[in-house]
C-alpha cells in the first residue's frame, strides 16, 4: 500500500517512536497520545481494518493480542490498560491500516461506555 501512513512507518519511510518489532508486527507510540501510555500495535501486512480480516489472519491476530499485555507491562501499565480497535466509519477509524490502541497510565481511564 503505497500511500498508507502505517505501511510507510513499517517500511521506515516515516519515523516513529518504535517500542517493538518482529517480522510480522510493529508497535510504536501514538503521535497524539490520549493518556501517559498510548501506543499502537500493527501488523506489517496491510489490512484495512478489523472488518477486512480473514481466516488466514488468525495466527497474526492471535500473536498481536498475546503481545498486547506483554508490551503494556513493559511500557509501565502496572495495573491494567485499555485496548481499542476503531473499525470503519461508525467506529471512528481514521487510519485504514488495522491497529490496536493500547492506552494506560497510573490513573483510571474515564468510563467509555455508559449504559442505560
Ligand atoms: P484511529 O482513529 O484510526 O483508530 O487512530 C489513528 C491513530 O493514529 C490516532 O490516535 C493518531 O494519533 C495516530 N497517528 C496518526 N498519524 C500518525 C503518525 O504519523 N505517527 C504516529 N505515531 N501516530 C499517528
Ligand atoms: Zn497499510
Q: How many CB atoms lie within 10 A of CB 10?
A: 22
pLDDT score, position 116: 81
For residue 12, give the C-alpha cell.
Answer: 521506515
Span from the CA of 62 to the centroid of ligand 2 (angstroms) = 19
Do the Cβ atoms of 108 and 102 come closer than 8 Å? no
- β partners of residue 72: none
Please name which ligand lies nearest the alpha carbon of 85. 1
Q: Which of 29, 103, 25, 86 is nearest to 57 (CA)?
A: 25
Question: How far, in Å, is the centroid of ligand 1 from the Cα of 5?
Answer: 9
What is the chain's pLDDT, residue by residue, as a tens digit (116 residues)?
A: 889 999 999 999 999 999 999 999 999 999 999 999 999 999 999 999 999 999 999 999 999 999 999 999 999 999 999 999 999 999 999 999 999 999 999 899 999 889 98
Which structural domains are found in the chain, ordered by start? 5-104 (3.30.428.10)
Q: Choose the residue to mutate in 51, 87, 95, 102 for probing ligand 1, maximizing ligand atoms within 8 Å of C-beta.
A: 95
At 35 the pLDDT is 97
Using CA atoms, how far apart are residues 69 and 72, in angstroms rounded to an integer? 5
Coil vs helix vs strand at 101: strand
User: Which residues are part of the catalytic machinery?
Assistant: 99
Q: Which ligand is nearest to the CA of 1?
A: 2
Query: Tell me, what's the pLDDT at 39?
Result: 98
List pocket residues of ligand 1, CB cut-off 6 Å. Answer: 5, 14, 16, 28-32, 86, 92-95
CA of 109 to the centre of ligand 2 (A): 29
Amino acid at each position: 500500500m503505497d500511500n498508507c501512513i502505517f505501511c510507510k512507518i513499517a517500511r521506515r519511510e516515516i519515523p516513529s517512536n518504535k517500542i517493538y518489532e518482529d517480522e510480522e508486527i510493529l508497535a510504536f507510540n501514538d503521535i497524539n497520545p490520549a493518556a501517559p501510555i498510548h501506543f499502537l500495535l500493527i501488523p506489517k501486512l496491510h489490512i484495512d481494518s478489523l472488518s477486512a480480516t480473514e481466516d488466514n489472519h488468525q495466527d497474526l491476530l492471535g500473536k498481536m493480542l498475546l503481545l498486547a499485555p506483554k508490551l503494556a507491562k513493559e511500557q509501565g501499565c502496572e495495573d491494567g490498560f485499555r485496548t481499542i480497535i476503531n473499525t470503519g466509519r461508525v467506529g471512528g477509524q481514521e487510519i485504514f491500516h488495522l491497529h490496536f490502541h493500547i492506552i494506560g497510565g497510573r490513573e483510571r481511564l474515564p468510563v467509555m461506555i455508559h449504559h442505560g
